[in-house]
């Protein structure tokens, strides 16, 4: 089924509006092109609200937020809701500062999100206003393991019920859940944490997949998470052959996404549903 | 002749001031270094007006404009005009939002541009306030083909006459025109559209070429367009040998520009003048 | 000794807060991960002052400053001082505009810096309010050579005495000085000047090295400068084997940092102390 989700992205070339941080924005633009979508960035309120109207999805990433862009996020998110576009939230560093946490809550109050993607610490902050985020990485004490997997799944389902959003918790083990169903995904490679912006890139790919598969955001999100992780594995195989480091790995990751076809995704996906 | 244009860039190392979007700004900086120029970015009004004074050319790219940077674009553009520096406009996404279209018109009213570079949809917006821009890509219905080439050439010449700027319409077939003379350029590769920012990079290369060849902006622009397209071809040849994807392609494109010499450009340029 | 400095970085994974320009910010983030640190970027005052509290070091880079970020730099720098975090200043383009020069002086007045890193023209501006900066590159007339080395060393020691900061002057020959002791470092490769942001990246690496080696900022800075230069040499060796250009070189530079171990640094460092 996931192969048809990927085919839909390639056929429809969804245009994804990103209000995102300036650290990883270029990689976000290029992974969108690589996955079969098309990016547009606009963060001035007068520009963004209108731009979102010509797009098929919106990503709100709070990585380097400021007063001007927070206002834009709120107005543009509401506009995307009016248009029934999928809206993905990436609460980068939620829990690490009051501004990031408050902005996350404000966004959750005023905008309906289709998907919320974060590491476990960020998602705990989204859920409880607690979570101990260490900068933009998950805290080790929060890590999802086989030992706490059932508990984390219940947590994700409950958060989905409360927010109405598909919850994507990404890390060594990825969890994608709505209130009824959960996918546990074991694609990916530890090297991905050595590249800045893999989370930001994934959030944008999720938006493209949801835009091209409007009837099933849960499966679209799971397919995107699995596809991105699989690209991380393929990139690592190539890295080993070429004796490269972390920057080559970033290149290979985007390369892999640009060459990923339905057959490869079908064969490489490590997904179980619960 | 184009080989001497390239040699002038390498000898003079023009310093190019870029007020450009934060999505592709790093690639713009690196392609400027690669082509033999040198970049400097400044977008605070108090900084930019003075910085432009120590530079040899200015690029104004409206990709992620906001209130603060629009004011800077206007003041800095006027200052560059006073200094007789070449000024290149890249009206990214003009036609896609009122703010982008209005800003484009405001810039055209207050600043004299040496060159305006865009895809056909953006250039139609510049000309007529119409054009159907699909985000930051040209609309398929606008595409320049052999069938509408004569018509598009007339359109470009007319727009050059009205604006005083060299008009560079880039796509599968590139057109570089002033009011008297036109170059039709068939360098390039479709893969270039799978990398974010190739248009932004080209606009900066054009600025470097014009700065180093002040007596002939038409030929300098045509040489830059041909050189950049040729690098796209060379990058593709290398990509095929290395089995890479879109991110490797971006690397190879900038690599090719950094290694391009006059001999290769002379041999690879696919230009006819009309 | 420098090998234990590197080991400390790998063991402690220092979290480095960067208020830096949007041109090279992604490379700064990725070189921090590559060198064994971890990056976080925040430039909104309400966010940054708090974020710096969870970090281990701060980098202030004035590359694309504006009114909003200047205020953030001042407040965040003071907060980092209160917390006794190492603070690194990269005065990009100081001397090229009044705003950059004035901001540099304002920062020096209000914030105590652990390290100031710049090219010779920028450091002369820091010292004398003179210096003839050509954009963001050093002026050729300022270049550090074997002929003026003794004089430059005296200058650096004197500036360190006056500012209390370790002074890192980087170029073909690098000088790292406090008021008592100087390291002259001859690692590096001319190709590094063909990649945008090598200075910005180095400043961030210095911050990570100082954070992990709080007792000796002079040696930590010298080790970082030597390590980064050595990576430039290793990257060039690889470039020659692969027939690449400037963009491959950037990739190989970050790759080399991600693979650098204590043994390689010990063997490759070209440092003399005076």
Residues in chain C: 274
Q: Which residues of A touch C47 (CB under 8 A)?
A: 65-66, 97, 99-100
pLDDT in tens, C73-91: 999 999 999 999 999 999 9
With CB atoms and an 8 Å threshold, state whether C54 touches A247: no
Q: Cα B44–B49–B55 angle (5° rounding)?
A: 115
Query: Residue B26: which of C26, C98, C99 has the nearest Cβ?
Result: C26
Q: Which residues of A touch B244 (CB under 8 A)?
A: 251, 255
Do residues A229 and A188 touch, judged by C-beta distance below 8 A? yes
Closest Cα of chain C to B26: distance in Å? 5
β-bridge partners, C16: C39, C57
**Rg of chain A over CA atoms, in angstroms?**
17
pLDDT band at B130 (very low <50, low <70, confident <90, very high): very low
Query: What value does the mean pLDDT take over residues A55-84?
Result: 97
pLDDT band at B136 (very low <50, low <70, confident <90, very high): low
Q: Token match 């170029």: residue?
A: C171
Average pLDDT of chain B to the nearest whole number: 95
ipTM of the modeled complex: 0.95
Cα B194 to Cα C17: distance, rounded to the nearest angstrom:
33
Strand order in the sheet with C166-169: C38-41, C15-19, C57-61, C87-90, C115-118, C166-169, C174-177, C182-185, C271-273
Nearest CA to A73 out of A37, A53, A103 is that of A103
Query: Residue A26: which of B26, B67, B135 has the nearest Cβ?
Result: B26
C24 touches chain B (CB under 8 A): yes
With CB atoms and an 8 Å threshold, state whether C258 touches A245: yes
C65 touches chain B (CB under 8 A): yes
Closest Cα of chain A to B3: distance in Å? 32
Q: Which residues of A touch B96 (CB under 8 A)?
A: 40, 50-51, 54
With CB atoms and an 8 Å threshold, state whether C30 touches A63: no
Nearest chain C residue (CA) to A92: C40
Selected residues 121-180 of chain A with any CB under 8 Å from a CB in chain C: 134-137
Average pLDDT of chain A to the nearest whole number: 95
Query: Residue B44: which of C23, C65, C194 has the nearest Cβ?
Result: C65
Residue C68: exposure state from Cβ atoms within 10 A (0-12, 13-18, ≥19): middle
CA B62 to the chain's CA centroid: 12
Residues in chain B: 274
Closest Cα of chain C to A83: distance in Å? 31
Query: What is the predicted pLDDT for the residue at C253?
Result: 98
CB pairs under 8 A between A and B: 96
Q: Which residues of B touch A44 (CB under 8 A)?
A: 64-67, 99
Q: How far apart are the first and last CA of chain C?
A: 16
Cα B42 to Cα C120: distance, rounded to the nearest angstrom:
21
Query: What is the predicted pLDDT for the residue at A12?
Result: 98
Q: Which residues of A touch C44 (CB under 8 A)?
A: 64-67, 99
Selected residues 36-55 of chain A with any CB under 8 Å from a CB in chain B: 38-44, 46-47, 50-51, 54-55
| Structure token digits, residue C181 | 């002791």
Do residues A206 and A88 touch, judged by C-beta distance below 8 A? yes
pLDDT in tens, B1-10: 788 999 999 9
Query: What value does the mean pLDDT take over residues B198-223?
Result: 98
Query: What is the predicted pLDDT for the residue at C142?
Result: 80
Query: What value does the mean pLDDT take over residues B161-190?
Result: 97
Cα B126 to Cα B101: distance, rounded to the nearest angstrom:
8
Nearest CA to B91 out of B65, B72, B109, B117 is that of B117
What values do phi and psi take at B183, rounded to 5?
-110, 135
| Structure token digits, residue A264 | 């490869």
With CB atoms and an 8 Å threshold, state whether B42 touches C24: no
C35 touches chain A (CB under 8 A): no
Do residues B186 and B196 touch, judged by C-beta distance below 8 A? no
Closest Cα of chain B to A57: distance in Å? 13
- Check: pTM over 0.90? Answer yes or no: yes
Q: B52 pLDDT exceeds 90?
A: yes
Q: B183 pLDDT exceeds 70?
A: yes
Query: What is the predicted pLDDT for the residue at C131?
Result: 46
Cα B91 to Cα B133: distance, rounded to the nearest angstrom:
11
CB neighbours of A154 closer than 8 A, spacing ≥ 6? none
Query: What value does the mean pLDDT take over residues A208-219?
Result: 98
Nearest CA to C21 out of B54, B26, B68 is that of B26
CB neighbours of C81 closer than 8 A, spacing ≥ 6? C87, C111, C112
Q: A130 pLDDT exceeds 50?
A: no
Query: What is the predicted pLDDT for the residue at A140?
Result: 66
Q: Which residues of B touch C26 (CB under 8 A)?
A: 26
Query: What value does the mean pLDDT take over residues B72-76?
Result: 98
Selected residues 182-221 of chain C with any CB under 8 Å from a CB in chain B: 194-197
Half-sphere exposure of residue B173: CA atoms within 13 angstroms, side-chain side: 16
With CB atoms and an 8 Å threshold, state whether B99 touches A29: no
Q: Under CATH, to which class is C2-273 assigned? A: alpha beta
With CB atoms and an 8 Å threshold, state whether B97 touches A255: no
> Longest C-alpha distance within chain A, in Å?
49
With CB atoms and an 8 Å threshold, state whether B258 touches C251: no
Closest Cα of chain A to B254: distance in Å? 14
Which regions of chain C are under pLDDT 50? 130-131
For chain A, give percent helix, strand, coil, nearest 5. 55, 15, 30
With CB atoms and an 8 Å threshold, state whether C99 touches B41: no
Closest Cα of chain C to B35: distance in Å? 10
Query: What is the predicted pLDDT for the residue at A132?
Result: 52
Nearest CA to C245 out of A179, B248, B221 is that of B248
Q: Which residues of A touch C254 (CB under 8 A)?
A: 245-247
With CB atoms and an 8 Å threshold, state whether B195 touches A254: no
A20 touches chain C (CB under 8 A): no
Nearest chain A residue (CA) to C41: A64
Query: Residue A245: which of C25, C26, C255 has the nearest Cβ?
Result: C255
pLDDT band at B129 (very low <50, low <70, confident <90, very high): low
Cα B131 to Cα C129: distance, rounded to the nearest angstrom:
51
Strand order in the sheet with B166-169: B38-41, B15-19, B57-61, B87-90, B115-118, B166-169, B174-177, B182-185, B271-273
| Structure token digits, residue B35 | 């082509």
C76 touches chain A (CB under 8 A): no
| Structure token digits, residue B211 | 């700065």
Do residues B16 and B40 touch, judged by C-beta distance below 8 A? yes
């Amino acid at each position: 089924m996931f192969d048809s989700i990927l085919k839909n992205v390639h056929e429809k070339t969804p245009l994804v509006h990103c209000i995102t941080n300036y650290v990883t924005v270029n990689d976000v633009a290029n992974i969108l092109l690589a996955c079969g979508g098309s990016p547009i960035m606009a963060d001035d309120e007068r520009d963004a609200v209108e731009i979102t109207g010509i797009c098929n999805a919106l990503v709100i990433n709070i990585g380097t937020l400021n007063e001007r862009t927070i206002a834009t996020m709120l107005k543009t998110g509401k506009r995307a809701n009016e248009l029934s576009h999928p809206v993905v939230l990436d609460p980068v560093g939620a829990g690490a500062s009051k501004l990031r946490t408050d902005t996350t809550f404000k966004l959750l109050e005023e905008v309906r999100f289709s998907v919320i993607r974060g590491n476990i610490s960020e998602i705990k902050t989204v859920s409880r206003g607690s979570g101990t985020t260490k900068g933009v990485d998950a805290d080790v004490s929060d890590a999802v393991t086989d030992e706490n997997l059932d508990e984390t799944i219940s947590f994700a389902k409950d958060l989905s019920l409360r927010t109405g959003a598909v919850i994507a918790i990404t890390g060594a083990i990825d969890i994608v859940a709505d209130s009824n169903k959960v996918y546990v995904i074991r694609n990916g490679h530890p090297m991905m944490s050595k590249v800045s912006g893999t989370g930001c890139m994934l959030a944008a790919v999720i938006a493209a997949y949801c835009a091209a598969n409007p009837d099933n955001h849960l499966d679209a999100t799971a397919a995107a998470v699995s596809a991105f992780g699989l690209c991380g594995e393929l990139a690592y195989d190539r890295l080993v052959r070429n004796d490269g480091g972390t920057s080559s790995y970033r290149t290979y990751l985007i390369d892999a996404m640009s060459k990923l076809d339905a057959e490869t995704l079908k064969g490489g996906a490590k997904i179980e549903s619960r």
